[in-house]
Amino acid sequence: MKQPMRVAVTGAAGQICYSLLFRIASGEMLGNDQPVILQLLEITPALKVLEAVKMELNDCAFPLLQDIIVTDDPKIAFSQTDIALMVGAKPRGPGMERADLLKDNGKIFSSLGKVINEVANKNIKICVVGNPANTNAYILAKNAPSINQRNITALTRLDHNRALHQLAEKTETTVSAIQKVIIWGNHSTTQVPDITYATVSNDRAKDKVDDSWWKDEFMPCVGKRGAAVIAARGSSSAASAANGIIDHMRDWCLGSAEGDWVSMAVPSDGSYGVQAGLIYSYPVTCQNGDYSIVQNLDISDFVQSKMTESENELKSEAELVKELI
């Protein structure tokens, strides 16, 4: 039997986690031979609800679930953790500007970053989900200098999966026939869903759809899909976000499918001219518990201008939170 892995999850009494935790405990994220210990963090008023989630997790009798720690103390939640899923954040309230959200949530990620710096495993793999996810990950990274900075990432896999579905539907096939879609940039409406290199049953996707479809329909549809779900459901994507988190971490830990790419927001190393250190979504492949940014892709002027727009948004977000760095 393998040693258990410690998985810290914040915002554990919230909507996304109600789909996420059960899938981690069942082995879908780290493999069906990998025992896990869940270290669940919430704010004090949400602990009662979290205790109920713990009861339900226990009532599933998951063979891989070795222990569940429920706490409002980040030092306990992140102690010796191998993985942290940073879901907890404040939702945007009525009349709240994006800048207010950035500052409010930024404070959460600067203080949790400091705790992670102190008590977590130095090679901890982190996925930030709470919005604005890329900039929250950036703030966390700057406040956790002793942690392997490569391993501080943000979630754009939900956007990637949304792109897969839209392209499959348009080309009247299934998602399993589609490879190499890309999400570049920020998890926001400036993200760049790109099908330049995508294939549909090994044929070029661009030969199967009009240019106007992917530029004028597909790109805005994927970028605004979160808002469409809120409009339809009255609350934000939860089960699909949980699924994106599982896909992100499973591929990172266990390897991505051969011959395909996945999208992850990772600290830029300057690839494709993006300012180093910004948390920018790239096409990556994963192997042996690490990821590599896909290199040397030719980028059209159209995609480049969109990529730069998204990078500029990330630079301006970083500027707005500079006192938290």
Other C-beta atoms lying within 10 Å of the C-beta of residue 170: 19
Which residues are registered as beta bridge partners of 203?
200
Count of CB atoms within 10 A of residue 94's CB? 4
**Cβ distance to ligand NAX smaller for residue 143 or 199:** 143
The reply to whether 24 sits near ligand NAX by the rule CB under 6 A is no
Min dist CB 43 to ligand NAX, Å, is 5
243-113-69-34 Cα dihedral, nearest 10 degrees? 50
Least separation in angstroms between CB 221 and ligand NAX = 15
Q: Between residue 144 and residue 163, which ones bind ligand NAX under the rule CB under 6 A?
A: 155, 158
Give the binding range for ligand NAX (CB under 6 A) out of 38-46, 59-67, 138-146, 306-314. 38-46
Query: What character string, x for contact with ligand NAX (CB under 6 A) and - otherwise, covers 89-118?
Result: xxx----------------x----------
Terminal Cα distance for the chain, rounded: 42
Report the C-alpha gap between 225 and 223 in whole angstroms: 6
Q: Is 187 a catalytic residue?
A: yes
Residue with token string 């530029």: 215
Can you tell me which of 41, 68, 209, 266 binds ligand NAX, judged by CB under 6 A? Answer: 41
CA distance 249 to 245: 6
Shortest Å distance, C-beta 101 to ligand NAX: 9
DSSP code at position 240: H
Is position 265 an interface residue for ligand NAX (rule: CB under 6 A)? no
- Cβ–Cβ under 8 Å, residues 152 and 277: no
Looking at the annotation, which residues are catalytic? Answer: 187
Please give the residue ranges that form the binding site for ligand NAX (CB under 6 A).
10-11, 13-16, 41-43, 46, 87-91, 108, 129-131, 133, 155, 158, 187, 226, 236-238, 241, 244
